[in-house]
Structures are given as structure tokens and as C-alpha cells.
């Protein structure tokens, strides 16, 4: 993945989370655009847009979503060959081992607990942008699945 002009996406039903995410992303010159989705179906429809839409370079999924959970969306995305290598980061308040194991087994690349502080969110972005996703694709193991700041 090139490190400039990145499009990142966030699926989260919390409007405040989108505002924070966008504010932090604006501090990084590598990020060209932020795609925001409040509902899983909305995001899945967007990704199924037959090449007409900007495909995110990195996708952040909140787990606890109404109707279609982040896990449901992860499973649907990973069924599509064109999104096999899309870096997907679970971005959740959940610290449940069950959630971590389920998302790992279903193809998420990284698991991050939502931070409370702006500075911690910024650290998450710094760490995520440092990762060479092409090198790490398929090479993740459960021990390096979690990002903590």
C-alpha cells in the first residue's frame, strides 16, 4: 500500500466517534479522505458499488452495531475476493476475548480498543500508518493482533 493519499473508512454508529476520527485524520498528511458509515448495510452497499466508489485503503469496524454488527460486516467483506487483502481493523470498546478470537478467526488484521483521549487516537493512527500491510498480509498471528497505546 502506498503511504500517501490514503482513503480510510470508519463504520461506527456513534456520530461523535466519526467527528473524532475525522479530526485526528486531518492531522495526517498521508490521509486524503475519510469515508464514514453509520450502518453496516450502508457500508456493504458502498463496497459493492461495482468499482464506482473509492475503495478504502484501511477499514476500521466498530463491533457493537445495531442490525449488522462489525463481525457480520467483517464476514461479508472477507467473502469477496477483491477485499481479501483490505486491511481491516476492529475498533471497539469491547475487551472480550470471545470478540477478539471471533474477529481474528474471521479475517480482521488488527484489534484496537477505542481510546478516550485524542492523543491516544493520534497514537493509534501513527501506529496503523507505520504498518507495511502488504508484508503483514497473511502473516498475522494472535500475539500481534492487538494494538495498545
pLDDT band at 136 (very low <50, low <70, confident <90, very high): low
What is the tens place of the pLDDT at every residue in 18-54? 999 999 999 999 999 999 999 999 999 999 876 788 8
pLDDT band at 1 (very low <50, low <70, confident <90, very high): very low
Q: Which domains does the chain have, with CATH numbers?
A: 6-147 (3.40.50.2300)
C-alpha–C-alpha distance, residues 148 and 52, integer Å = 35
What is the tens place of the pLDDT at every residue in 62-108? 999 999 999 999 999 999 998 988 999 999 999 899 999 999 999 99
Contact of 141 with 101, CB cutoff 8 Å: no
Amino acid at each position: 500500500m502506498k503511504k500517501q493519499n490514503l482513503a480510510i473508512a470508519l463504520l461506527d454508529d456513534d456520530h461523535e466517534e466519526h467527528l473524532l476520527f475525522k479530526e485526528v485524520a486531518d492531522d495526517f498528511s498521508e490521509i486524503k479522505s475519510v469515508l464514514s458509515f453509520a450502518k453496516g448495510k450502508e457500508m456493504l452497499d458502498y463496497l459493492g458499488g461495482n468499482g464506482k466508489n473509492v475503495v478504502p485503503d484501511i477499514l476500521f469496524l466498530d463491533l457493537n452495531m445495531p442490525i449488522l454488527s462489525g463481525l457480520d460486516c467483517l464476514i461479508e467483506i472477507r467473502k469477496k475476493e477483491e477485499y481479501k487483502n483490505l486491511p481491516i481493523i476492529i475498533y471497539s470498546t469491547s475487551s472480550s476475548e470471545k470478540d477478539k478470537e471471533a474477529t481474528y478467526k474471521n479475517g480482521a488484521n488488527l484489534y484496537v480498543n477505542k481510546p478516550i483521549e485524542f492523543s491516544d487516537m493520534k497514537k493509534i493512527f501513527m501506529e496503523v500508518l507505520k504498518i507495511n500491510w502488504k508484508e503483514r498480509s497473511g502473516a498475522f498471528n494472535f500475539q500481534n493482533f492487538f494494538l495498545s497505546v
